[in-house]
Amino acid sequence: MCGAATLSRMEQVFAPWRIDWVERDSSRDDIDECVFCELPEQDADRRNMIVARSEHAFVLLNNYPYNPGHVMVIPHRHTGDYRELNEAVLMDHARLKQRTFDALETAFSPDGFNTGLNLGSGAGGSIDDHLHTHVVPRWEGDTNFMATVSDTKVIVEALEDTYERLHDAFGQQNGTTDTGPETAVLID
């Protein structure tokens, strides 16, 4: 990692998008090709940190959160090209983003959000063949959580806490079904 002092303001703005998903457990060998295709197929939502699922998309906690509550909203469709999403998937993905803002607001009361996509290998993301929208809660005067807290155990505990809070928040929304703490909240 670069020292924070060497980063320009522009780079800091884009830092949340740099790392999409990092294995916390290096002994894990059950991901062969595309993590965003394989995680939702594993029937292990809690372990995989998938907190909500709609018809065509799902919400995944980022293992490398810029801030607590940093998630990605990901269509199941394996493509890196936003223009390939059909109308049903676009609408479902957009509605899931709306619900994600609501859930994050309920769970964390942020002052704002950064949200966006990295499209193409030149855009700075680490996974460019399966598109995903980052949603990062922001607070006035916040600093990069990962840079502040370097203790892995603390980060894992924070992820567990984030999962529970967001799971509760999605479960409280109208038009959702909470099937228990081990599975993602289902969006009708």
Which residues bind to Zn ion, rule: CB under 5 A? 34, 36-37, 78, 130
User: Which residues does residue 187 pair with via DSSP β-bridges, in sequence order?
Assistant: 176
User: Which residues does residue 137 pair with via DSSP β-bridges, in sequence order?
Assistant: 113
Q: Which residue has the tokens 């894992």?
A: 156
Residues 6 or more apart in contact with residue 59 via CB below 8 angstroms? 50, 51, 52, 53, 71, 72, 73, 74, 96, 100, 166, 170, 184
Nearer to Zn ion, 55 or 102 (CB): 55
Among 56, 132, 134, 167, the active-site one is 132
**Sheet with strand 57-61: strands edge to edge:** 112-117, 133-138, 71-75, 57-61, 50-53, 185-187, 176-177
Q: How far is the CB of 74 from Zn ion (least distance, A)?
A: 9
Q: How far is the CB of 106 from Zn ion (least distance, A)?
A: 29
Nearer to Zn ion, 11 or 129 (CB): 129
- Provide the 8-state DSSP code for 108: H
Residues 6 or more apart in contact with residue 38 via CB below 8 angstroms? 30, 31, 32
76 catalytic? Reply is no
Nearer to Zn ion, 130 or 165 (CB): 130
β-pairing, 50-53 with 185-187? Answer: parallel
Nearer to Zn ion, 34 or 123 (CB): 34
> Would you please indicate which residues are annotated as catalytic (active-site) residues?
132
